[in-house]
């Protein structure tokens, strides 16, 4: 009898006028999610398939980068990248700095503020390299890492973990999820940064980040840090709730808040029922 009652109840909701709208809404969410994942995967494949070395050494690409710079960057950085009151000079920053800023969507900057926000890139990988080639043609600077420099296979993971804790964890937290700095700034999460962006950030020192050149961290040590960050991205969380992996205090505070909230709701319910 109870089973029939449940069936009747379900049938009632299924025939509700809003049921079809809810089903369509859920279907659209699932479809858009699948499409977004597929589009992002295709975009990442397209970005990784571009020959960076060929573009950086191609005069036609430098000219194309100059045109892109004039339309998208010159307002803040000056027509010849000399800088002005709205933006710093780019003379000498190098191709690696341009690639890091543009590929992570930080540039062009959406709005002025204490922190340059990461967002969806506005340029394709080919256009990003063209911009980098143009800026690099103005003056020498840190170059985009080669495939060999980004090959961290065989890196010492234990040493990378020690180097990360000694040089990176103070700002990015030991979990690589980022952390707050002073004056409204923050160290971003490294969980969505690509290995190339991590390497470029180390050699260019964007914003408040110090520069880790080869005298500070050699190539093998950089490989170790990249390997450790990639390990953090894929490693499971044995504590259950991740919550940024800030440790048991965060999880305890979360559970305490939920528990106290539930007790308050029960107390209010009992008080209402008593009346």
Using DSSP, state whether 207 is helix, strand or coil. Answer: coil
* 47 vs 67, more confident: 67
Q: Which helix (H) or strand (E) holds 264?
A: helix 248-274
Domain 155-235 has CATH 3.40.50.11540: no
Does the structure show a pLDDT above 70 at 249? Answer: no
Alpha carbon distances (Å) from 271 to 68, 164, 182, 199, 267: 67, 53, 46, 60, 6
Q: Sorting pLDDT into bands at 50, 70 and 90, what band is 211?
A: very high
Give the Cα separation of 258 and 239 in Å (integer). Answer: 17
Does the structure show a pLDDT above 60 at 68? Answer: yes
Domain ranges of the chain: 2-45, 155-235, 248-274
Segment 92-151, tens digit of pLDDT: 999 999 999 999 999 998 887 788 899 999 999 999 999 999 999 999 999 999 999 999
Does the structure show a pLDDT above 60 at 171? Answer: yes
pLDDT of residue 48: 47
pLDDT of residue 37: 46
Does the structure show a pLDDT above 50 at 272? Answer: yes
Q: What percent of the chain has pLDDT over 70?
A: 75
Segment 31-61, tens digit of pLDDT: 545 444 444 443 443 344 578 888 988 999 9
pLDDT of residue 230: 95
Q: Sorting pLDDT into bands at 50, 70 and 90, what band is 175?
A: confident
Give the Cα separation of 275 and 265 in Å (integer). Answer: 16
Burial of 196 (0-12, 13-18, 19+ CB in 10 A): buried
**Measuring CA to CA, which residue among 68, 43, 45 is closest to residue 55?**
68
């Amino acid at each position: 009898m109870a089973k029939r009652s449940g069936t009747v109840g379900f049938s009632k909701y299924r025939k509700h006028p809003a049921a079809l709208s809810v089903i369509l809404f859920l279907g659209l969410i699932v479809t858009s999610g699948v499409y977004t994942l597929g589009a992002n995967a295709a975009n990442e494949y397209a970005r990784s398939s571009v020959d960076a070395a060929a573009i950086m050494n191609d005069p036609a690409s430098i000219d194309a980068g100059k045109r892109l710079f004039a339309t998208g960057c010159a307002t803040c950085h000056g027509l010849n990248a000399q800088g002005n009151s709205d933006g710093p000079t780019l003379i000498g920053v190098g191709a690696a700095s341009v690639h890091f800023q543009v590929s992570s969507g930080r540039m062009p900057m959406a709005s002025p503020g204490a922190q340059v926000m990461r967002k969806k890139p506005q340029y394709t990988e080919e256009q990003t390299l063209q911009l980098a080639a143009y800026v690099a043609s103005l003056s020498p600077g840190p170059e985009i890492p080669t495939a060999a420099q980004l090959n961290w296979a065989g890196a010492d993971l234990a040493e990378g973990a020690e180097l990360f804790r000694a040089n990176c964890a103070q700002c990015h937290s030991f979990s690589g999820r980022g952390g707050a700095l002073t004056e409204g700034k923050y160290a971003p999460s490294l969980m969505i940064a690509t290995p190339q962006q991590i390497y470029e950030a180390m050699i260019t020192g964007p914003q408040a980040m110090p520069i880790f050149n080869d005298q500070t961290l050699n190539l093998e040590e950089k490989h170790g840090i990249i390997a450790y960050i990639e390990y953090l991205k894929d490693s499971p969380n044995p504590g259950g709730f991740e919550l940024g992996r800030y440790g048991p205090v965060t999880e305890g505070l979360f559970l305490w808040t939920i528990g106290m909230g539930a007790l308050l709701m029960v107390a209010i319910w009992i008080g209402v029922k008593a009346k």
